[in-house]
């Protein structure tokens, strides 16, 4: 039973143009938002960009490594808590022995990535020894472990979460303005996409994609898959941690509900919805997901009914994700 097609992407001009178009479109949102006089748009777009980063991170292991991980919300949450705890110390409300008290993003974002990456590596050592259904269930269990740990940590707000008032800065400049912060997130997404694109096409990416297709063959050729899968998992966790830190920064708040297993499932849905075989697929998926969530929840209190139905429909019908529709449309347009 194979997973989604891990088609060999090239660093072709088409893909890079696609990424560039996406990023430019996202960068135009504040302008459009201002023109329409609708500030809500930026709020939604910030959410989309942050979840897009997390989903792109997940897709490194899911779409290209064939590993169905259900612990990425947990890693996302770790990143969020690293930023939250570091910043909340400035308020004097909490203290942590291992984290600096700072709201400087240039310090705290790399730190969030490092901690989340380390956590992913530790969980990966156990989870990657197994495969298939075991892997899915173990990552799900790890996600819940992280969730319950933060629920139990009363000094960091427990189930209610951790609020902080400290102003965040980037290289000393205030970074909390809604629009500048949004541009920062778009820039982070652009960097992540460009880096992922290189990574997937590199020798490392080749090994990762090959391991998803035929691990036994890879071993017989002389490449043990485990260290590569582990590195990919840790890297993926680090980028998910970055997204989580940005998420906490965007609302000056982080709580265990951001790391529930349902959030992990949501991230998987975003990847599948957008298209597993493409680096930028999850960006489209995150956009569609968050937009649909916003529209449906404004429409009815029972929106989850429609949303669940939508997910089922996606699984049944849309094997290549939304990005395939775009590509098919583009090809059809060219042919006619």
Partner 1 sequence: MTAPLLRVRGLTKRFGGLIATNHLDLDVGHGETLALIGPNGAGKTSLIAQLQGDLTPNGGSIAFDGRDITGAPAHRRARLGLARSFQISSVFPEFTLTANVAVAVQAGAGHSFRFWRDAAADPALVGPARQALDSVGLGGLERRAADVSHGERRQLELAMALAMRPRLLLLDEPMAGMGREDSARMTRLLQGLKRSYAMLLVEHDMNAVFALADRVVVLVAGQAIASGTADEVRNDPAVRAAYLGKR
Partner 2 sequence: MTTALLIEQGLNGLQLGVQLFLMAAGLTLVFGIMNMINLTHGSLFMVGAFLAATVLAHTGSFVLALVVAVPATALAGLVLEAAVLRRFYGRSHLDQVLVTFGLIMVINELTRMVWGNVPVPMALPQVLSGAVTIYPGVTYPSFRLAILAVGLLVALGLYVVVVHTRVGMWVRAGASDRAMASAMGVNVGLVFSLVFAAGAALAGLAGIMAGPISAVQVGMGEPVLILALVVTVIGGIGSIKGALIAAVLIGLADTFGRVLLPPALGSMIIFMMMAAILAWRPRGLFPVHG
Residues forming contacts to partner 2 in the complex (CB under 8 A) are: 1-4, 62, 68, 70, 125-126, 129-130, 132-134, 136-138, 140-142, 144-145, 148-149, 151-154, 261-262, 265, 268-269, 272, 302, 304-305, 307-312, 314-316
Q: Six-digit token pair at 199?
A: 């990574």
Tell me if 16 contacts partner 1 by CB under 8 A.
no
Tell me if 221 contacts partner 1 by CB under 8 A.
yes
Instruction: Report the nearest approach of partner 1 to the CB of residue 115 (Å).
Output: 21
Question: What are the distances in angstroms from CA 148 to CA 154, 158, 258?
Answer: 11, 9, 12
Write the interaction track for partner 1 spanning residues 182-201; mark x where CB under 8 A is met and - where it is not. ----------------xx-x
CA 186 to CA 170: how far, in whole Å? 15
Q: Residue 61 gets which letter from DSSP?
A: I
Q: Which does 10 bind (CB under 5 to 8 A by kind): partner 1, partner 2, none?
A: partner 1
Sign of CA dihedral 34, 35, 39, 44: negative
Residue from 37, 222, 332, 333 binding partner 1 (CB under 8 A): 222
Q: Which of 249, 271 has the CB closer to partner 1?
A: 271
CA 23 to CA 46: how far, in whole Å? 13
Instruction: Report the nearest approach of partner 1 to the CB of residue 272 (Å).
Output: 17
Please report where in the chains the tokens 């909490």 appear, as a residue.
94
Burial of 14 (0-12, 13-18, 19+ CB in 10 A): exposed
Q: Which of 197, 252 has the CB closer to partner 1?
A: 197
Write the interaction track for partner 1 spanning residues 223-262; mark x where CB under 8 A is met and - where it is not. xx---x--x-------------------------------
CA 264 to CA 119: how far, in whole Å? 16
Instruction: Report the nearest approach of partner 1 to the CB of residue 286 (Å).
Output: 24
Please report where in the chains the tokens 């694109």 appear, as a residue.
197
Burial of 257 (0-12, 13-18, 19+ CB in 10 A): middle
Q: Six-digit token pair at 24?
A: 């430019």
Instruction: Report the nearest approach of partner 1 to the CB of residue 216 (Å).
Output: 6
Q: Which does 55 bind (CB under 5 to 8 A by kind): partner 1, partner 2, none?
A: none
Q: Which of 131, 202 has the CB closer to partner 1?
A: 202
Q: Which does 100 bind (CB under 5 to 8 A by kind): partner 1, partner 2, none?
A: none
Tell me if 214 contacts partner 1 by CB under 8 A.
yes
Q: Which does 309 bind (CB under 5 to 8 A by kind): partner 1, partner 2, none?
A: partner 2
What count of Cα atoms within 13 Å lies in the side-chain half-sphere of residue 334? Answer: 6
Q: Which of 130, 202 has the CB closer to partner 2?
A: 130
Q: Which residues contact 323 (CB under 8 A, 6 or more apart)?
A: 274, 275, 278, 280, 281, 284
Tell me if 129 contacts partner 1 by CB under 8 A.
no
Helix/strand/coil for 45: helix
Instruction: Report the nearest approach of partner 2 to the CB of residue 98 (Å).
Output: 15
Q: Which of 60, 62 has the CB closer to partner 2?
A: 62
Q: CA dihedral defined by 119, 122, 128, 130, rounded to 10 degrees?
A: -110
Q: Which of 143, 197 has the CB closer to partner 2?
A: 143
Whether 242 contacts 113, CB under 8 Å = yes
**Where along the sequence are the contacts to partner 1 (CB under 8 A)?**
2, 5-8, 10-11, 198-199, 201-207, 209-210, 213-214, 216-224, 228, 231
């Amino acid at each position: 039973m194979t997973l989604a097609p891990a088609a060999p992407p090239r660093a072709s001009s088409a893909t890079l143009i696609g990424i560039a178009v996406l990023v430019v479109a996202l960068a135009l949102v504040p302008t459009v938002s201002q023109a329409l006089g609708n500030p809500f748009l930026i709020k939604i777009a910030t959410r989309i960009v942050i979840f897009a980063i997390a989903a792109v991170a997940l897709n490194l292991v899911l779409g290209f490594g064939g590993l169905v991980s259900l612990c990425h919300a947990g890693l996302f949450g770790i990143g969020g808590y690293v930023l939250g705890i570091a910043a909340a110390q400035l308020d004097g409300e909490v203290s942590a022995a291992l984290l600096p008290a700072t709201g400087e993003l240039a310090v705290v974002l790399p730190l969030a990535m490092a901690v989340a990456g380390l956590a992913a590596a530790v969980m990966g050592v156990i989870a990657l020894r197994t495969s298939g259904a075991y892997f899915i269930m173990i990552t799900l269990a790890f996600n819940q472990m992280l969730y319950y740990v933060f629920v139990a940590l009363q000094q960091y707000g427990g189930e209610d979460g951790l609020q902080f008032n400290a102003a965040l800065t980037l290289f000393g400049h205030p970074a909390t303005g809604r629009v500048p912060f949004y541009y920062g997130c778009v820039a982070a997404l652009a960097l992540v996409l460009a880096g992922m694109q290189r990574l997937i096409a590199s020798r490392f990416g080749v090994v990762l994609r090959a391991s998803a297709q035929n691990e036994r063959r890879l071993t017989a050729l002389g490449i043990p898959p485990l260290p590569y899968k582990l590195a990919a998992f840790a890297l993926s966790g680090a980028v998910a941690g970055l997204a989580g830190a940005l998420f906490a920064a965007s609302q000056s708040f982080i709580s265990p509900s951001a790391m529930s297993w349902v959030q992990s499932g949501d991230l998987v849905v975003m990847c599948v919805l957008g298209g597993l075989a493409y680096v930028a697929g999850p960006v489209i998926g995150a956009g569609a997901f968050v937009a649909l969530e916003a529209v449906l929840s404004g429409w009815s209190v029972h929106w989850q009914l429609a949303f669940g139905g939508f997910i089922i429909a996606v699984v049944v019908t849309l094997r290549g994700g939304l990005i395939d529709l775009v590509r098919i449309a583009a090809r059809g347009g060219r042919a006619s």
